[in-house]
Amino acid sequence: MDASSRVSPLRQRMIEDMRMRKLSEKTQSHYLRWVQRFAAYLGRSPDTATVEELRRYQLHLVDSGTSPVSLNATITGLKFFFEVTLDRGDLMAKMQPVRVPRTLPVVLSREEAARLIAAVAAGIDKRVSMHTLRHSFATHLLEQKVDIRVIQVLLGHKKLDTTALYAQVATDLLREVISPLEHTVPA
């Protein structure tokens, strides 16, 4: 018995729908996992779910401490399943994405970044990760007055809004701003 004969027709259809849309392998895997978890919660095939059962599942996820990012990702996977695979988008009426709080990234000073690169556990008191170096890199470029669109390309951001977040932590740049009114000559 090969692997394809063990896959339910519903799961196979969802896989085909994802392949048709050229979703990445990782995305496909996540979507399948989220539908599988919903089916386990439901105790039966997910194509038999009602609007109210989907609503209760979202409440279950919230009550069990699921993060806003994971909750929205789950909703996205279920939305694909119900809207695309089943053509029953109406069932998602009560499933609403939640607002993800936006936090400013931790940014290391140039000296802290150099110390981190030069030596491990570097005497930095801030809570940092390797991703912090990325935030620091972007912020330092902004402070050097590199055009924000160039930084956007370097970081691979699709939206300028994502890159613009660094303007809020580029304190050196903000201190240098001089009001245009200070250069006006009284008449």
pLDDT digits (tens, 9 = 90+) for 125-182: 777 777 777 788 888 887 888 888 888 888 888 888 877 777 766 666 556 656 666 6
pTM value is 0.58
Q: What is the DSSP string of the chain?
A: --GGGGS-HHHHHHHHHHHHTT--HHHHHHHHHHHHHHHHHHTS-GGG--HHHHHHHHHHHHHTT--HHHHHHHHHHHHHIIIIISS-GGGGTT----PPPP-PPP---HHHHHHHHHSTT-S--S---HHHHHHHHHHHHHHTT--HHHHHHHHT-SSHHHHHGGGGT-HHHHHH---GGGGPPP-
**pLDDT band at 1, cuts 50/70/90?**
very low
Provide the pLDDT for residue 118.
Answer: 78
pLDDT of 51 above 50: yes
pLDDT digits (tens, 9 = 90+) for 8-31: 999 999 999 999 999 999 999 999
pLDDT digits (tens, 9 = 90+) for 67-125: 999 999 999 999 999 999 999 999 998 888 888 887 777 777 888 878 877 776 767 77
Domains and CATH numbers, the chain: 8-92 (1.10.150.130), 110-175 (no CATH)
pLDDT digits (tens, 9 = 90+) for 27-46: 999 999 999 999 999 999 99
pLDDT digits (tens, 9 = 90+) for 66-78: 999 999 999 999 9
